[in-house]
Structure 1
Amino acid sequence: MVNLPAPMEKRIPTVSADNFLRQLLLEQQQLTAVGEFSSWHEQQTMDHAAHYRALLPTSSPKSGEQLAFEVDLDACSGCKACVTACHNLNGLEEAETWRHVGMLLGISDASRPQQYVTTACHHCVEPGCLQGCPVQAYDKDPLTGIVRHLDDQCIGCQYCILMCPYEVPQYSAAKGIVRKCDMCRQRLEAGDAPACVAGCPNQAIRITIVSQQTARQRAQTSTFLAASPDPSLTIPTTIYRSAKLQNVADIQGELAGIVAANDTLPHIAHPHFPLVAMLVLTQMSVGTLLLERIFFAAGAIDARASLALLIVSAATGLVGGNAAALHLGKPFGAWRAWMGLRTSWLSREIVTLGPYGGLLGLAALLALLSFTTLASCLSSLALCVGIVGVISSAMIYVATGRDYWNASRTFPRFLGSTLGLGLGVATVVILASRNQPTLVALLALASLMVASVQAFSLNESRRRRQQYPSRSLERTALLLRNALSDAFQMQMSAIVCGGFLGPMILLLIATSSQESAMQQTPVFPIAVVSAVTLLLGNLLERMLYFQACTPAKMPGDDR
């Protein structure tokens, strides 16, 4: 016999008004799921915070000490939970990451283990980003040693990315500024662990206190991490520990037979087109002005040719200087560039090349108005300022410490562009004003010599890459032979045609025994084509100067 349920009216209990109110009051006194979890956490029933706090120092850094990351490489499984935690808790953009995970591989001994490496900002003792920033948008906390970025001060010049050997700062095109890891400073102040520390399931990352003097000693002995940049550049403070990888502290990873997994996969760097235009055009302007001053002082040119050279120099200088503003994320803040004058070569370049165009433009205007003496004085002053600006431009890249941008490669290229392009412009102007075979021959001969220096510099750098190979230069050579081979061939062809072939033809014509050779031969079109071709070659050379630079990075950083 089946027992049927009672009718609905019989199953509903009779509830009085007092019982109903009492029941509602009891329900209001009960905690929600979130409230119960918070209560358990406060009562240490489920005390996960204790595990996180165990990964933090128990005291504050003393004088000469600072906070630093300590990574147990043996505990790192490469799961990238630290990357995800950092990305989510810091609200980063979709393609923005402040922490990376890579791998070290043993290539000389099969018994060497594979080792995952997690890396972020090293909060260096002498941070390159801080020293290179032209607007002082970085600050190193005197108490904790944390290097933090001041978003409201940044103008988005991206020079800090070049100055950092580890390329830690990342540019946000949407915001027009760079951003970087600050060790979750706010969480540390509240007694909580940084996102990466709390997110690691194996407790491979912790915050510790290090002595800055000890960090300097470690950097001098190159004891940091295999297959990573030279620590003496910025004195990183991150401590990597591993029992499996005996040579993990050997910076000469090649000698230890340890390389990064992505070591043979070079990426084409950003071309920085505004910087390419700025560098080439400003150097062309300074070279043209230099020759104008020399010819004017020697009485080799008349007032018409001098004025033409001044106008061309002022025009290229102003266009080049303004092109640099296109590289800034916040160009209206460029007026603050003087703030980093004491430490930043970029500040020195801006402070010199900025007034340079104005002085030269004013000199050209005064020359047009026949104020010859005053125009000559301003032109000489502009030349001095421009030369300092070109030197500062070269030092911007030499100061980064990158192998491909060292002084022996950078100065010959920048000097070659300055003199070579100036000679090309001067030849065109001289031929347009009047035919002077002797002066044209001297200009053509000088162009051949400068082009020879440029070609020798390129060949010398390639020969040294073969004779004294390093990881970064090997990757550069690999790019020039493969992905950038077409641009490299176009560059060499343009330099040969504009720097050798054109001047050689002009030299032969100018030194011809026939007096009418200059009038019967289209020397002016030849000079124009030669100058334009040489300009194209220098633009390509400067583009490859940026694209082919593949500095040593931390393992796993594929940017």
Structure 2
Amino acid sequence: MGVRLKVINDILAEQQDLRSVLRFAKKHAEGDVSFEKGIYEEQIPLSKPGPGQQYAFSVDLDACTGCKACVVGCNKMNGLDADEAWRSVGLIHGGTAEHPLQQTVTTACHHCLDPACMNGCPVGAYEKDPVTGIVKHLDDQCIGCKYCTLTCPYEVPQYNSRLGIVRKCDMCSDRLSSGEPPACVQSCPNGAISIRLVDVQSVLDDAQGNAFLPGAPSPGITAPTTVYHSKRALPRNALPADFYSVRPAQDHMPLVIMLVLTQLAAGAFVVDQILAHTPSGADAQAAMGRYQSLLALGLGLLALAAATFHLGRPLYAFRAFIGLRRSWMSREIVVVGGFVGAALLYSLSLWGSELPSILTEHLSPGLKFERRVLGLTTAALGVLTVICSAMIYVSTRRLFWSGTATTLKFFGTGAVLGLASIAAAAALTGHLFDSLALLELSKELALPLALIAGCKLAYEASVFFHLFDKQQGDLKRSALLMFRELKNLTMTRFALGIVGGVLAPLLLFAFEIELTSLSFLVLALSALVLSLAGELCERTLFFMAMSAPRMPGGIGK
């Protein structure tokens, strides 16, 4: 045992003595230094990037032992919190029993040519240096919305709950500018990490081949610049060690509440305007419109309030307009603001005669007489709000958040809750004011509500067909999560959806209306409350069941 420990200690001591500077000194003393061998550029280039070039990490897989010295060096040099890491080490394995493969992989930010984190940021908290190509995060500009953690396919940006902002690797740009290697490069005892100059066109050409690392996200999304090289050819079955593991994602509860309530409000205003422009529903809409508009407006304001709880620095939320040119989140914020403002004006126009004179005297004649235009504008902005919300997640290119799936779910939520809220408002108003017409309207809305809710539930259940996929794809992982780790939440969602969205409306449709009966009102309100609870569960699954390719993991996880 003592001999074995001595051998290990000798090897470790040799590793520590063979840092790049010492290796250079040793070769210089032996007269084995020449410019042709590139010994001067062992860690970083001697020159800055030229036209069509940028800095990039280069990783020698044959030299990486998975010791995590790079992780520790990065953490210490950048003053990161104990639970924060900008560099990680994963594991790839494969091969056969005769020729097995086990390869450790160190990874950090890839300083992509087309960084998704920068493109999606609503406040412009990212910039790509035009000379070096380094993607930097501007901590002072960040509001902690965490959208970049969703848009980056490599899970690079890390949210720091203590600071309320996101932070990431900047390739130790201050050290590079002074001719010093980044912390991870200097910390590696085997010289597995270095900084190299890469040609932008070569990176784009490599991205077309869709080959980066086994199991990793496609390089075609952002064109990562990190170069992994090895003298060994990776076997065809090489996969990350955690390839078959599935784990629930974060629930993002403030976003769940915000999305569901804004879609409820949008759906309610759309149904309201459809009724206002149909002969059979115009009178009923006029009778209950003011009450329904207040309900939808209140929920819209509540949605805005809930969204601020998702921000790490909510006091700086006003910056969210900066990224309007390229960020769907900025566009959503602008459109939601316009939607709530239009809803407020529309509600004021409906309640004009009931408001104190101090308010009504400031209402313009156009506002009083053009309620129809204002109502249509509010409904149109509601639809646009749902579109912008959907595009936030579609643009991340996650299969579970595909354009078809996200659009159907978001508009389905708006339709289900919009119909349920109008039906409940009609039943409540009809009961309070003894209006048979409003009760009839509530009954008429019950059947389309049941049909749409049933179709939406069937579409959501279709993900379980992927359980039979032979390949462990993203949608199969999502189906496995919903079937196993998130089973209780999934069962609750479908139970609430079936009872509140299908059975209660069908009973409502078959109910014999009586003005003095509370049963009809209870059914209508139950349909709304249970459907709302079901949609909140569905939106929680939307976040938690999302699974996407990621960089290799498995070491210390």
**TM-score bracket, shorter-length normalisation:** 0.7 to 0.9
Shift of 1:300: 4.3
1:314 matched residue in structure 2: 297
2:475 matched residue in structure 1: 473
Shift of 1:336: 1.7
1:522 matched residue in structure 2: 519
* 1:368-407 pair list within 5 angstroms: 368-370=351-353, 372-407=368-403
C-alpha distance after superposition, 1:304-339 (max 9, x if no partner): 301111111101111001210111111122212121
Greater mean deviation of Cα atoms: 462-471 or 286-295: 462-471
Structure 2 residue 232 is matched with structure 1 residue 232: no
Structure 2 residue 418 is matched with structure 1 residue 435: no
CA distance in 2, matches of 1:47, 1:376: 85
Shift of 1:477: 2.0
1:537 matched residue in structure 2: 534
2:337 matched residue in structure 1: 354
Structure 2 residue 536 is matched with structure 1 residue 548: no
Q: TM-score, normalised by structure 2?
A: 0.86
CA distance in 1, matches of 2:468, 2:454: 21
1:327 is paired with a residue whose SS is coil
* 1:122-271 pair list within 5 angstroms: 122-247=110-235, 256-271=236-251
1:340 is paired with a residue whose SS is coil
CA distance in 1, matches of 2:93, 2:498: 43
CA distance in 1, matches of 2:85, 2:490: 33
Shift of 1:518: 6.8
Greater mean deviation of Cα atoms: 292-301 or 235-244: 292-301
Q: Evaluate the alpha carbon distance shift between residue 113 and residue 448 of structure 1 in structure 2; reply closer, same or farther with a 3 A threshold.
A: same
1:453 matched residue in structure 2: 455
C-alpha distance after superposition, 1:394-438 (max 9, x if no partner): 010011011111112111111111000011011111122233365
Q: TM-score, normalised by structure 1?
A: 0.86
Structure 2: gaps (5+ residues): 1-20, 30-37, 354-366
2:100 is paired with a residue whose SS is coil
Shift of 1:107: 6.2
Shift of 1:284: 0.2
Tell me, yes or no, if the aligned pair for 2:424 and 2:442 is still in contact at 8 Å.
Answer: no
Q: Which amino acid aligns with 1:425?
A: S
C-alpha distance after superposition, 1:453-504 (max 9, x if no partner): 2112112222245347443223222221222100110000000001110011
Which residue of the other structure, out of 83, 107, 112, is the alignment partner of 2:71? Answer: 83
Q: Evaluate the alpha carbon distance shift between residue 204 and residue 530 of structure 1 in structure 2; reply closer, same or farther with a 3 A threshold.
A: same
CA distance in 2, matches of 1:540, 1:376: 35
Q: Evaluate the alpha carbon distance shift between residue 133 and residue 302 of structure 1 in structure 2; reply closer, same or farther with a 3 A threshold.
A: closer
1:485 matched residue in structure 2: 487
2:139 is paired with a residue whose SS is coil
Aligned length: 505
**Please, what is the CA RMSD of the aligned residues?**
2.4
Q: Evaluate the alpha carbon distance shift between residue 109 and residue 307 of structure 1 in structure 2; reply closer, same or farther with a 3 A threshold.
A: farther
CA distance in 1, matches of 2:179, 2:501: 65
Q: Evaluate the alpha carbon distance shift between residue 412 and residue 468 of structure 1 in structure 2; reply closer, same or farther with a 3 A threshold.
A: farther
CA distance in 2, matches of 1:52, 1:353: 56
Tell me, yes or no, if the aligned pair for 2:126 and 2:136 is still in contact at 8 Å.
Answer: yes
2:309 is paired with a residue whose SS is helix
Shift of 1:521: 6.8
Shift of 1:354: 1.8
The percentage of counterpart residues that share the same residue type is: 40
Tell me, yes or no, if the aligned pair for 1:64 and 1:213 is still in contact at 8 Å.
Answer: yes
1:105 is paired with a residue whose SS is strand
Which residue of the other structure, out of 419, 422, 427, is the alignment partner of 1:426? Answer: 422
Q: Evaluate the alpha carbon distance shift between residue 63 and residue 233 of structure 1 in structure 2; reply closer, same or farther with a 3 A threshold.
A: same
Structure 1: gaps (5+ residues): 1-39, 248-255, 511-515
C-alpha distance after superposition, 1:163-201 (max 9, x if no partner): 000110001111111000000001100101101110001
CA distance in 2, matches of 1:80, 1:269: 25
Structure with larger Rg: 1
Shift of 1:246: 2.8
CA distance in 2, matches of 1:323, 1:435: 37
